[in-house]
Amino acid sequence: MQPLSLLPSRLALTAALLVVLASSVARSQQPAGTVRLPEPRRQGAMSLEAALAARHSTRALTRDSLDLADLSQLLWATQGINRPDGHRTAPAAGGIYALELYLVAARVRGLQSGVYHYRQAGHLLEAVSTGDRLQAITDSATHQAWQADAAIAVVFAADYQRLAGRFRDRAERYVPMEVGFAAQNLYLEVAALGLGTTFAGSYQDSTMARLVGLPENLRPLGIMPIGHPR
């Protein structure tokens, strides 16, 4: 029989081992090359009306880093799941969702610089490539030097064929609508967090697709560099 004086230390050791084991199991359930984002908030300090009043395009940014929690909030607001049935924060024709989000991370605390694909299921980032691609994207744009100061850039890309099977030539109309809905969500969340951004479309499609690593079925449709306003 163990002395009573040893029981507390043994219980503490057992508890510590259980915590390590649980953490190991959680990591093993997360796919390789993915980053699980912090849980997004459903309520914030700013009202919708205040965010609408504050929303504007900003091209003067500092080179300060972004918090991972704010990044999580931005991606969820743009295209995150907001209902148990898997539907998202922005509408899409027929609920088909032609849109895909890619993140170009330059300066985010707790996240390696690189390109990531946002996966709504699980609220995850899937690593595409490492290294800061933001300067190269800025260099490929026309008169957009301000983009290099951003902490991140969100790239909007879409697969038109997802809608073409059901809506045929109407896909050419519905996909840009979907981008507009999502971009306005992102604009409002940027305003609510006190950040700055501008939607930009002045770049070569082929260069953007190569730098981001888009699959052949996706067409780049716009980019929103985001950072702290000057």
Q: For 14-35, what is each residue's pLDDT tens digit?
A: 444 433 333 333 333 444 699 9
- Tokens at residue 85, please? 């049935």
Decide if pLDDT at 192 tops 70.
Answer: yes
Distance of CA 185 to the CA centre of its chain: 12
In angstroms, rounded to a whole number, what is the distance separating the alpha carbons of residues 145 and 201?
A: 14
In angstroms, rounded to a whole number, what is the distance separating the alpha carbons of residues 17 and 13?
A: 6
Q: For 136-150, what is each residue's pLDDT tens digit?
A: 999 988 788 999 999
**pLDDT given for residue 141 in this prediction:** 86
- DSSP code, position 40: P
Percent of the chain beyond pLDDT 70? 86
**pLDDT given for residue 20 in this prediction:** 38
Q: For 198-215, what is each residue's pLDDT tens digit?
A: 999 989 899 999 999 999
CB-based contact 114:105 (threshold 8 Å): yes
H helix intervals, 141-170: 161-167
Work out the burial of residue 176: count CB atoms within 10 Å of its CB; fewer than 13 is exposed, 13-18 middle, 19 or more buried: middle
Mean pLDDT value across residues 152-158:
98
**pLDDT given for residue 143 in this prediction:** 81
Q: For 78-105, what is each residue's pLDDT tens digit?
A: 999 999 999 999 999 999 999 999 999 9
pLDDT band of residue 195 (cuts 50, 70, 90) is: very high
Q: What is the CATH number of domain 34-227?
A: 3.40.109.10
Q: Which residues contact 157 (CB under 8 A, 6 or more apart)?
A: 99, 100, 101, 102, 209, 212, 214, 218, 219, 220, 221
Q: Which residues contact 12 (CB under 8 A, 6 or more apart)?
A: none
Range with the poorest average pLDDT among 4-13, 39-48, 127-136, 182-191: 4-13
